[in-house]
Amino acid sequence: MQLAKPVPQEVVQQVAEYFSILSEPMRLRILNLLRDGEKCVQELVEATQTSQANVSKHLKVMLQAGILSRRSEGTSAYYSVADPLIYELCTLVCNRLATRIEQQARHFRDFSLANRE
């Protein structure tokens, strides 16, 4: 069996930071809203029913991580997904969770059927 090479601490830290961006529910909501294309901050505020300061805070984090891109038009800022790989990652996680939930449901059904006999 071959041992894995040690990964530099800086690399592990960057990967952890990238995953931490997706650990915030509001950021996932914003990403889902941007799935159909770019939106201005006000559209995101209305869709999430939260404050502009809150939305802007999350947009800034995702922008700095390279997940989003921003363009200005007049006094409005428009955001879009710069890294579409983020949706593939979300799909993998959602599919995994769905599989686990389906397995749990089967276990509950099996348990309830076993207790009827």
pLDDT at 4: 80
The token pair that represents 62 in the structure block: 């995702």
Please provide residue 6's backbone torsions phi and psi, each rounded to the nearest 5 degrees.
-65, 140
pLDDT at 116: 64
Nearby residues of 72 by Cβ (< 8 Å), 6 or more positions away? 78
Please provide residue 17's backbone torsions phi and psi, each rounded to the nearest 5 degrees.
-65, -40
Tens-level pLDDT at each residue, the chain (117 residues): 777 888 899 999 998 999 999 999 999 999 999 999 999 999 999 999 999 999 999 999 999 999 999 999 999 999 999 988 999 999 999 999 999 999 999 888 888 776 665
The answer to whether 62 touches 27, Cβ cutoff 8 Å, is yes
Please provide residue 24's backbone torsions phi and psi, each rounded to the nearest 5 degrees.
-100, 115
